[in-house]
A and B are shown apart, each in its own frame.
Chain A
Amino acid sequence: MAIIEAIETVYLEADVASVTFSSLGSYEHLQLRIIGKTTSTGDYYALHLTLNGDTGSNYSNHRIEGYGSSKQAYASTGNTSIWGFSADGSGTGSAEYGGVIIDILDYQNGNKNTTVSGIASASIAGGAPRVIIVSGLWDDVAAVTSVTVNPSSYNLVRGTELTLYGIKSS
């Protein structure tokens, strides 16, 4: 029995506002792996994650990031998404995309709020990548039935690729 299975890969042939995975299968945990870029004109831009289509103010975030010799920590609550998984912006070179891994644990449980954990590294034109660790909470005990990724008011650009994996227990 496979412990980790690929549920679905989405490769963008054109720019889109968001990507939603709504067939999540029956696993213990999910892992979403992204190599992504947005239409933001900057070097990088945060991807936003919403669960079950909920865009209410039901999410909280913690994030630490490093760039150059600088390091910063952020925290916020009452958000409409979990955000901060930085992909590249269109201000970087055409070959530069950011890598993101998001773990969504115990997503089928209907008695627990859902906490996700993520890491990201956005390639920066002429500079060092930006590296980020994200923790996010969806303040809802519902089982997760869909996962949506969007870059807020921007689009995900052609060439962005997202794959959702399901992880079983032994």
Chain B
Amino acid sequence: MTINTDDPAYIVDGVLTDGEAWVALGTTTLGAGAVNIGFTSTTGANDWSQYMDLVLVSYLRSDESSQASYMRVMVNSASVVTGGYDDQGLWGSATGLAGAVSAGAGVATNQGIAGYIPADSVGANIFGASVTNIFDINSGKYKQMITKSAADNNLATTAAGGYVSIFGTTLKTQAPVTSVYVSLYPTGSDDLVAGSRVDLFGILPRMVTA
């Protein structure tokens, strides 16, 4: 794991300057299977209280014995939060070369369902690409997330599998975001496999005086 705790680039000798709007906060690439990949606010550039939004860029695969696993993004706790989340998904899936569009929702669920991850039954070395945006992380608003996922499969070698999806996920808390965890749903005996990685970015606002 790499965490950026340097002095923020927008502070030079104690003076505020125009710095990078997107700040790389951390990177984790798994060397062995793990239940989740998590990040926590600390100090310096990795003090999340200075950011407007967070972006998680994830490249993941699970060892679940299926075509795909659910991806979940948990905020402020890796553990379930009873009734704490709502989610709405819109996804395309494939059986052979025929596509289908579906939608599904979860209300007052215990975890932040956010998309799909290729699993153990898809071709070797196939990982899924996801980008999660978490909005206004230091406000008293509920925490709203959008995740775009590409969990494709090689349809030349298998007749099933593959998802493209967008999920909206709400964590019903007014507390600031201080940690995030990317994992499978449900957690249990299945892991994110070695080589799975997540990069975390913080996005700064810019208050302009007219």
- The interface of chain A, by Cβ under 8 A from chain B, is 2-9, 11, 33, 35, 64-71, 93, 95-99, 101, 119-124, 126-131, 133, 159, 161, 163, 165
Contact = CB atoms under 8 A, between A and B. Distances in A.
A70 B103 CA distance: 6
Contact of B168 (A9, A64, A129): A129
A148 B135 CA distance: 20
B13 interface: no
Nearest to B103: A66
Interface string B136-170: 10011110111010000000000000000011111
Interface of B: 18-22, 52-53, 86-90, 101-107, 133, 135-136, 139-142, 144-146, 148, 166-170, 172, 174, 203-208
A9 B136 contact: no
A161 B136 contact: yes
B20 A2 contact: yes
Contact of A69 (B21, B103, B142, B203): B103
Nearest to A131: B168
Contact of B86 (A11, A119, A124): A124
Contact of A71 (B101, B135, B169): B101
Contacts of B167: 121, 131
B166 A127 contact: no
A128 B106 contact: yes
A119 B135 contact: no
Contacts of B53: 33
B106 A159 contact: no
A127 B206 contact: no
A133 B170 CA distance: 17
A130 B168 CA distance: 7
Contacts of B133: 33, 99, 101
B103 A129 contact: no
